[in-house]
């Protein structure tokens, strides 16, 4: 009896938390497919607001995915070798470098953006391009890739594997690609999920770095809520969920499959 009461209480609490998180999103999405939000569903269901949002903000959606996957590519190319170097070298210097790489997690996004603005304000073409936002996203998400890969390296005897491959005549590049990277796949997949998720949803840093021609999904969403009628903003939220959730579910499934190998 006691166990049943505990289970019932846990179930009610879990359902309550889920409702607290999900219901506002459902209400926001439903507003995007109603003719008039203030009259509710009784006013009719329509996709005109979704079409209007797509016409106005399709470029922000495309740019967000370009930046997110470009951020992922850079963090993979830089972060995985960096994690390997930090793990194998050890010592005080490696610890200092590791803390420097992790620092953007503790620093507010606005502070990072201000630093980039002060540093590159004289590079006009770079400042106006989406590459400027990409640089901010790379700085912000790099710690998550490095930390995820290092966590996997901590559970694997990387040094012995590397030495074994070297004794068989493998070059450093071959050892890294054929031995080190395959053993780091679970960490790489977990880091990739974090990087893409953070990049797609990042607002504070992006808001400081963007220009009228380099708006991303969160910036467009904020603009639509500030300047459009509520139905249009809610339709933008609907598109955001439709674009993001399948991607995140697919990446999570891929990551779980990688962990299961």
Cα-flanking dihedrals φ and ψ of residue 45, to 5°?
A: -110, 135
Query: Is residue 200 in a domain?
Result: yes
Residue whose token pair is 């499959």: 257
Q: What is the per-residue pLDDT for 260?
A: 57
Distance CA 225, CA 219 (A): 10
Query: Is residue 12 in a domain?
Result: no
Sign, Cα dihedral of 121, 123, 129, 131: negative
This prediction has a pTM of 0.80
Q: Which helix (H) or strand (E) holds 36?
A: none
Q: What is the CATH number of the domain that holds 137?
A: 1.10.3720.10
For the chain, helix (H) and strand (E) counts, in that order, are 13, 0
Q: Estimate the crossing angle of helix 230-260 against helix 217-227, to 10 degrees.
A: 160
Query: Is residue 50 in a domain?
Result: no
Query: Is residue 27 in a domain?
Result: no
Q: Quick count: other Cβ atoms within 10 Å of Cβ 30?
A: 15
Q: What is the CA radius of gyration of the chain?
A: 23
Query: Is residue 52 in a domain?
Result: no
Query: Is residue 35 in a domain?
Result: no
Q: Quick count: other Cβ atoms within 10 Å of Cβ 27?
A: 11
Query: Is residue 4 in a domain?
Result: no
Range of the domain at 105: 57-260
Joined together, the tokens standing for residue 148 give 């995820």
Distance CA 81, CA 94 (A): 13
| DSSP β-bridge partners for residue 34 | 45
Query: Is residue 85 in a domain?
Result: yes
- The closest of 148, 258, 142 to 205, measured between CA atoms, is 142
Q: What is the pLDDT along the chain (261 residues), one digit of tens a residue?
A: 677 777 788 888 888 888 887 787 777 777 778 887 777 677 777 888 888 888 877 888 889 889 999 999 999 999 999 888 888 776 777 777 777 777 777 788 888 888 888 888 778 788 889 999 999 999 999 999 998 888 888 887 777 787 787 877 778 788 888 888 888 888 888 888 889 888 988 888 898 888 888 888 888 878 877 776 777 778 877 887 787 777 777 777 766 665 555
- Written in H, E and C, the secondary structure of 230-241 is HHHHHHHHHHHH
Cβ atoms of residues 81 and 142 within 8 Å? no
User: In total, how many domains does the chain have?
Assistant: 1
Cβ atoms of residues 204 and 109 within 8 Å? yes
Cα-flanking dihedrals φ and ψ of residue 107, to 5°?
A: -85, 130
Cβ atoms of residues 181 and 76 within 8 Å? no
């Amino acid at each position: 009896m006691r166990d049943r009461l505990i289970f019932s209480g846990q179930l009610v609490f879990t359902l309550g938390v889920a409702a607290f998180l999900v219901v506002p999103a459902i209400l926001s999405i439903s507003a995007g497919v109603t003719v008039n939000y203030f009259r509710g569903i009784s006013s009719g269901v329509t996709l005109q607001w979704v079409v209007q949002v797509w016409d106005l903000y399709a470029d922000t959606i495309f740019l967000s995915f370009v930046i997110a996957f470009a951020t992922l590519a850079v963090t993979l190319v830089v972060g995985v070798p960096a994690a390997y170097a930090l793990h194998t070298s050890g010592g005080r210097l490696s610890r200092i470098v590791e803390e420097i790489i992790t620092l953007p997690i503790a620093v507010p996004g606005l502070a990072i953006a201000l630093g980039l603005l002060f540093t590159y304000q004289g590079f006009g073409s770079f400042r106006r391009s989406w590459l400027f936002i990409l640089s901010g996203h790379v700085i912000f998400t790099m710690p998550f890739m490095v930390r995820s890969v290092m966590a996997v390296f901590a559970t694997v005897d990387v040094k012995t594997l590397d030495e074994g491959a070297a004794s068989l005549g493998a070059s450093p590049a071959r050892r890294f690609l054929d031995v080190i990277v395959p053993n780091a796949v679970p960490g790489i997949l977990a880091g990739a999920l974090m990087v893409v998720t953070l990049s797609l949803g990042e607002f504070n840093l992006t808001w400081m770095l963007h220009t009228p021609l380099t708006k991303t999904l969160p910036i467009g969403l904020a603009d639509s809520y500030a300047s459009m009628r509520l139905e249009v903003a809610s339709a933008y939220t609907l598109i955001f969920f439709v674009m993001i959730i399948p991607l995140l579910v697919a990446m999570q499934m891929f990551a779980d499959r990688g962990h299961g190998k």
